[in-house]
A and B are shown apart, each in its own frame.
Chain A
Amino acid sequence: MCFIWTKIIRGTTFNEFSVLGILSNLGAAKMPQVMVVARNFMDMVAALPAAKLDMLYDSAFICEAVLRSFPPLAKKYALQMLYVSAPMPAAAMEEWVLDEYASKHKVAIDRLLQLRVFVEVRDRRKEVSYKMNDKFQGNMQKYLVDGGSLPREPISSSVTGRLPTLTELENYALEQWECFLLQLINSSQVERGTSFSSSMMKTFQRGLLSSRDGDAPKLSENGFQFLLMETNAQLWYIMREYISSAEERGVDPTELISFLLELSFHTLGAAYSFNTLTDVQRIAIRDLAELGLVKVQQGRKDSWFIPTKLATNLSSSLSDSSASKEGIVVVETNFRLYAYSASRLHCEILRLFSRVEYQLPNLIVGAITKESLYGAFDNGITAEQIISFLKQNAHPRVADKIPVVPENVTDQIRLWETDRNRVDMVLSHVYEDFPSKDMFEQCCDLARDNGFLLWEDSKKMRLIVRVEFHQEMREFLRRQR
């Protein structure tokens, strides 16, 4: 199907028209990329030089975090190889899986090799065997015997006095994190800013905001998608930015990575003394406190930090979306949307794709409309992302229902999206009034051979060619004359 809208410009020899050829385009919608970010973090670890990676494996916690980030099959292989010291022939390993799942096997082995948990060994006959990384193996064996120990001892409550309860800690963490996010997306609206230096904030905003010259920075496509991700994925994104900007600040990224992974193995809600930290870690912990990963408290002599849920979930979220936080959103078949939340951040997020009608103390009421969705699509959010956001944040009352979001609503969101994708504009030119059939066909052939022909009508001797080819076309016609 081909809709053509023409606008006439006087040409020279032939009538040339500038055409906006609108062709159907039912391309596949982009899938939501929620987990991509977290996986990228392990890719970042994998990209470290071999020597540094081996250095990281000195710490049992990193070994543990890395192991947990693997796909299930890779985890199983690692476990199976734990007490095997001799190299295992690759061919023998392939026997472990059924033939039809060889691709899964390959993915698992590749991952293990990338992170240097398995090391490739070639014998004299050039046959490939895999051997487990010695340090990794040693650390994991130790783990199996004593069940792993703690990175550092918590300090006793006689020193710290009363520590915040877990609920207080969680509220604190969420508050800090939301405050940070609000500042990230809209620095002017925050009354109580975090103490991140503006340069640091800029680093975080780099991928998320785009500013056209002079204008106030606006959320970019990535920024919108970022807001719809779950907290852990967002956290990893920020951490990745934080680590990759470490070198600019003169900090070794390896140390930060190891500290972050280690942090997630601390006990939730226990206090740890600052004295056990290195200088780099001390600076890092102040930054992490701003994000709500830890709470820093000052005693009479000592200061200490208390890891929050955000920190302890950090490494576990690498393998999977394990955030089981309670949802807030109820969507009705009449396209109305109720979100039981008092948070400004939630309101901002909902505003991305719905029309927020009113806000009660604990309830945000909105409607999903065509206009609001078009706004979202313009910002680069896909229908799938919106639907998966609604599903993941469903209120417990509706979370049990199948489907969680009414089908007519999800279908309509998808339809509105495809409405926009159905047509695709291609700038092009129309050529007509050819003097002879022969000439017309020569032109057609030339355009077709170069792959610029969009449409032809041999009866009326008309053709449409992409705008890029116009110059060549013109010269060709001039030569023919």
Chain B
Amino acid sequence: MTSAHSKLYSDDVSLVVVIVDTNPFFWAGAALPFADFFGHLIHFVNSLLLLNHLNQVVVIAAGVSSCAYVFDSGNAAASGSPDVAATFAKASRKVEEFVKQDARDTAGNGTVAGGGAASLFSGALSLALCYIQRVFRSGTRHPQPRILCLQGSPDGPEQYVAVMNSIFSAQRSMVPIDSCIVGTQDSAFLQQASYITGGVYLKPQELSGLFQYLAAVFASDLHSRAFLRLPKTLGVDFRASCFCHKKTIDMGYVCSVCLSIFCKYHKKCSTCGSEFSRVMPDLNSMPDQK
């Protein structure tokens, strides 16, 4: 029985925000061509919409230097265009445009160094959380939100602070972050994100059956997850990035006031401005940092 005071719909109505990696540097050399991947994604989005007519799906594309909303099932339904095929055609056109625009931005910035460019996941996560906050505040009853990250490219250590902040705000607003890695490397950021927010982290073995993974694991709503045997994370990489050079480090210096992390000793904290009067001895006696 739905009680009127709860602002949620019943258990199995979900709002899924899917963050899709559109990093051309990754997809150029990926085992699974982007077109196939996009096909799986559309299947997955359709199946979510099939499960419950109140389900809502938002797709956010994360490029190298920008991110944008590419699909919103709420808009598609509201605009009165019932032709779903047309809606998806529009979505794929939007992705195409986005990728082009993103490439132009990237070229303009000139920030990319070599092939190891990361996608802007921090921005995409923030967009997703903003969208969810807007739904929370809309006042009417809303579905249960969750975020699914489909990441291929490696983590960008320079986004560490922003990503961690997004993760903590997701945790605060009880939004689980699921992650599905379509690339070759595990992502430390997403491992932590799923671990902290209670989502599922999965790195599929066989990418050609991506839809099956998505349907089996990520399509299940939060309510039925309690009953299911879902993949468990074996280990989580808890390493942090330093604030000064954005490198992933095992050990480092931590500001005693604001807990900022540095890989080298500084006289003054660059984040909060506290001055460290005593000179730290050498690295060996330094507190272990997690």
How distant is the Cα of A388 from the Cα of B4 in the complex, in angstroms?
A: 9
Minimal Cβ-Cβ distance residue in A for B45: A147
- If over half of B's interface residues share one DSSP class (helix, strand or loop), that class is named, otherwise mixed; here it is loop
- Interface hub of B2, B3, B83, B228 (most chain A Cβ within 10 A): B2
Contact mask for chain B residues 126-165; partner A; CB cutoff 8 A; 1 contact, 0 none: 0000000000000011000000000000000000000000
B215 at interface, CB cutoff 8 A: yes
How many of A's residues come within 8 Å of B, CB to CB?
Answer: 50
Tally of contact residues, B, Cβ under 8 A? 41
B95 to chain A, nearest CB (A): 16
- Chain A CB within 8 A of B10 CB: yes
Contact A401-B5, Cβ < 8 Å, known A96-B228, A147-B88, A324-B141:
yes
Inside 8 A of B43's CB, which chain A residues have their CB? 144-145
B290 within 8 A of A: no
Q: In residues 131-162 of chain A, which contact B (Cβ within 8 Å)?
A: 140, 143-150
Q: Closest residue of chain B to A400, judged by CB?
A: B5
User: Judging by beta carbons under 8 Å apart, are B9 and A322 in contact?
Assistant: yes
Cβ A73 vs Cβ B227 within 8 A: yes
A322 in contact with B215 given A72-B11, A97-B228, A399-B5 (CB within 8 Å): no
Residues of B within 8 A of A64 (CB): 50
A401 to B3, CA, bound (A): 12
B1, A320: Cβ atoms closer than 8 Å:
no
Cβ of A404 within 8 Å of any chain B Cβ, yes or no, is yes
Interface: A5 (CB within 8 A):
no
Which B82-135 residues have a C-beta within 8 angstroms of A? 82-85, 87-88
Look across to chain B and name the residue whose beta carbon is closest to the beta carbon of A73: B224
Q: Is A196 an interface residue (CB 8 A)?
A: no
How far is B10's CA from A95's CA once the two chains are assembled, in angstroms?
26
Q: A98 touching B227 by the CB < 8 A rule? A: yes
Q: A68-B51, A80-B215 are in contact. Are A320 and B228 (CB under 8 A)?
A: no
Query: Hey, which chain A residues are within 8 Å of B219, CB to CB?
Result: 76, 79
Question: Is A408's CB within 8 Å of the partner chain B?
Answer: no
- Taking a contact as CB atoms under 8 Å apart, the answer to whether A96 and B229 are in contact is yes
Would you call B260 an interface residue if the criterion is a C-beta within 8 Å of the partner chain's C-beta atoms? no
A59 surroundings in chain B (CB, below 8 A): none
| Contact between B1 and A34, CB atoms less than 8 A apart | yes
Question: For chain B residues 24-69, which have a beta carbon within 8 Å of chain A?
Answer: 43, 46-47, 49-54
**A393 CA / B5 CA spacing, docked (Å):** 11
Q: Which of B218-250 contact A (CB under 8 A)?
A: 219-221, 223-224, 226-229
Query: Does B72 lie at the interface of the complex (its beta carbon under 8 Å from any beta carbon of A)?
Result: no
Cβ 8 A contact of B50, one of A98, A143, A388, A404:
A143
Select which of B10, B47, B211, B228 is within 8 A of A321 by beta carbon. Answer: B10
* Bound Cα distance A68, B228 (Å): 20
B51/A267 in contact, CB under 8 A: no
For residue B212, CB closer than 8 A to chain A, the reply is: yes
B216 adjacent to chain A (CB < 8 Å): yes
**Other-chain contact of B4, A76, A144, A149, A394 (Cβ < 8 Å):** A394
**Interface core residue of A72, A83, A97, A404 (most chain B CB under 10 Å):** A72
- Contact (A316, B10) CB under 8 Å given A82-B215, A143-B46, A147-B88: no
Q: In chain A, what residue has the closest Cβ to B76?
A: A147
Cross-interface CB contact of B223 among A67, A72, A146, A401, cutoff 8 Å:
A72
A104 touches B (CB below 8 Å): yes
Nearest Cβ in chain B — how far from A11, in angstroms? 54
Are A267 and B50 within 8 A (Cβ)? no
Chain A residues positioned under 8 Å from B50 (CB to CB): 64, 67-68, 79, 140, 143-144, 148
20 extra A-B contacts, CB within 8 A, seeds A72-B223, A150-B83: A67-B50, A68-B52, A72-B11, A76-B220, A79-B50, A80-B216, A83-B212, A97-B227, A97-B228, A146-B84, A149-B83, A316-B53, A316-B54, A320-B10, A320-B12, A321-B10, A327-B4, A391-B3, A391-B4, A399-B4
List 20 A-B pairs, Cβ < 8 Å: A68-B51, A72-B224, A75-B52, A76-B219, A80-B215, A80-B216, A95-B229, A144-B43, A144-B47, A145-B43, A147-B87, A147-B88, A267-B82, A270-B82, A320-B2, A321-B10, A392-B2, A394-B5, A403-B5, A404-B4
List the 9 closest pairs (A to B, CB-CB), nearest first: A147-B84, A101-B227, A72-B12, A72-B224, A316-B53, A144-B46, A144-B43, A79-B215, A320-B10
